[in-house]
Amino acid sequence: MGKISIIIIIGGDFVDKLAIGLMSGTSLDGIDVCLAKIKGVNESTKIKFLDGITVPWSLRARKMIADALDLKRSNIKLISQLNFLIAHEYKGAILKLLKNNNLKFNNLSYIASHGQTVWHDPHDEKNPSTFQIGSGAVLSALTKTTVVANFRLQDLALGGEGAPLVPFFDELFFKAKKGLISLHNIGGISNLSLLNNGKLETAFDTGPGNMIIDFYAHKLFNLNYDDKGTIASKGNLIKPLYNEVLSLNYFNLEPPKSTGRELFGNHYANYLLTKYPHFKKEDYLYTATKITIETIYDSYRKLIATYGDLKEIIFSGGGAHNDFILTSLSQKLPHVKIKKSSDYQLSIDYKEALAFIVLANQTLHQQPSNMPKATKAKGKVILGEISYYRESD
């Protein structure tokens, strides 16, 4: 008999399943891989984080992805090749985590993969679209494991933004929290989920998170990121650059809304660097960091005016390690508790990868997981595409 991944129900309760979550975001800092144990579905879902690692892209893959993200260097051959190469890189990253835990692929029930976004433009009037590569079908064949991938398409097809998708997880994980709180992830892009007594009120991307900051850290200091915001804290504001970014129409749009590298990517950061030359290197990092701080703060200023007093913001993502950002926000929002997801035994670095395990679990149970309040979709829909694996007889 061949092997096929199935869901087993015993006495009405779902048994524990081991699953892998994959997230490779807009910052291109690597592949986040997490291992978790999950059971149940919908409100009864229980998930336990077991382990996680971040595996850097190979130099070849990182360069190819960077080229694919640049409209001048991208082409269909490159994207087609990357669709396969990324799946191979994902397999290698998963294998490292499995070896760390004395596990093999056949111990897994499924893999949840967000994929690598190379294009996200839900606002195009004629053809709104989004594109994530790193084929789930190829990954399934390589790992001999069922894979759920490509989560954004169905929501976009129903008039949604296709993002953010983590609010389903946020509501599930923090459903017992009382009062008005926010779950805030600072990755390449900064996004939040606003909950009131455990129920989602709204969710959206506030603007750039680490994206412009990391570009300047790499280009000007040959660093992958500004550790704890130390360099930025020594700089001064480049006022015209700062004002130009804050004048973008995106910040005037009403939520829910989403954005990405198409607006705030390397091309834009480099354009700003060229337009405003001759400043000290640390001034560019300071200004980029202040843009992230101010756009986050302004989002909360508007939310507080609409929804009332905010009790707490719980940060995750790479930006949660940036002391300069969090300290500045604490000063600007003195009546709001500033915490990290790790304060609630939820990994700062692997929260999003963990969230996709939950979304994939919903998909395998034929249950929806988008949140129309977060995406503007016309209704709830089952997300993702499933690539089942079965050994030949």
Give the start-to-end residue ranges of the domains of the chain.
Answer: 9-162+352-387, 176-344
Assigned CATH class of 176-344:
alpha beta
Q: Please say whether the beta carbons of 191 and 162 come within 8 A.
A: no
> What's at 199, amino acid-wise?
K
Residue 133 scores a pLDDT above 60? yes
Query: Among residues of the chain, what percentage have pLDDT more than 70?
Result: 96
pLDDT tens track for 187-213: 999 999 999 999 999 999 999 999 999
Residue 181 scores a pLDDT above 80? yes
Tokens (6 digits) for 125:
């009037």
Mean pLDDT taken over the chain: 94
What Rg value do the Cα atoms of the chain yield, rounded? 20
| Strand 180-186 with 110-121, pairing | unpaired
Query: Among residues of the chain, what percentage have pLDDT more than 90?
Result: 92
Residue 10 scores a pLDDT above 90? no
Tokens 């000007």 sit on residue: 220
CATH of region 9-162+352-387, choose from 3.30.530.20, 3.40.50.2000, 3.30.420.40, 3.40.50.1100: 3.30.420.40
Residue 17 scores a pLDDT above 50? yes
Query: CA-to-CA distance for 312 and 177, rounded, in angstroms?
Result: 10
Note the pLDDT of residue 393.
62
Residue 8 scores a pLDDT above 60? no
Query: CA-to-CA distance for 348 and 152, rounded, in angstroms?
Result: 23
Residue 250 scores a pLDDT above 90? yes
* 200 strand-pairing partners: 195
Q: Which of 73, 94, 226 is nearest to 147 (CA)?
A: 94
Count of CB atoms within 10 A of residue 171's CB?
Answer: 20
Residue 362 scores a pLDDT above 80? yes
Q: How confident is the model at residue 1 (pLDDT cuts 50, 70, 90)?
A: very low
Residue 118 scores a pLDDT above 60? yes
Query: CA-to-CA distance for 224 and 205, rounded, in angstroms?
Result: 23
* CA dist 223 → 201, 226, 273 (Å): 38, 7, 17
Residue 14 scores a pLDDT above 70? no
Q: Which of 215, 238, 213 is nearest to 322 (CA)?
A: 213
Residue 5 scores a pLDDT above 50? no
Query: CA-to-CA distance for 218 and 196, rounded, in angstroms?
Result: 39
Show the DSSP H helices in the chain as ranges.
59-68, 76-100, 136-143, 153-157, 167-173, 211-221, 239-246, 261-264, 266-275, 281-307, 323-332, 351-364, 372-375
Note the pLDDT of residue 136.
98
Residue 9 scores a pLDDT above 70? no
Residue 126 scores a pLDDT above 50? yes
Same fold, 9-162+352-387 and 176-344: yes
* CA dist 350 → 6, 141, 202, 313, 342 (Å): 26, 25, 22, 18, 10
Q: How confident is the model at residue 12 (pLDDT cuts 50, 70, 90)?
A: very low
Tokens 């979304």 sit on residue: 359
Q: Read off the pLDDT of each residue in 224-247 and give the average, rounded to a whole number.
A: 97
Count of CB atoms within 10 A of residue 93's CB?
Answer: 22
**Contacts for 300 with CB less than 8 Å, ≥ 6 apart:** 182, 310, 313, 333, 336
Residue 3 scores a pLDDT above 50? no
Residue 319 scores a pLDDT above 80? yes
Q: How confident is the model at residue 27 (pLDDT cuts 50, 70, 90)?
A: confident
pLDDT tens track for 293-318: 999 999 999 999 999 999 999 999 99
Note the pLDDT of residue 28.
80
Residue 377 scores a pLDDT above 90? yes
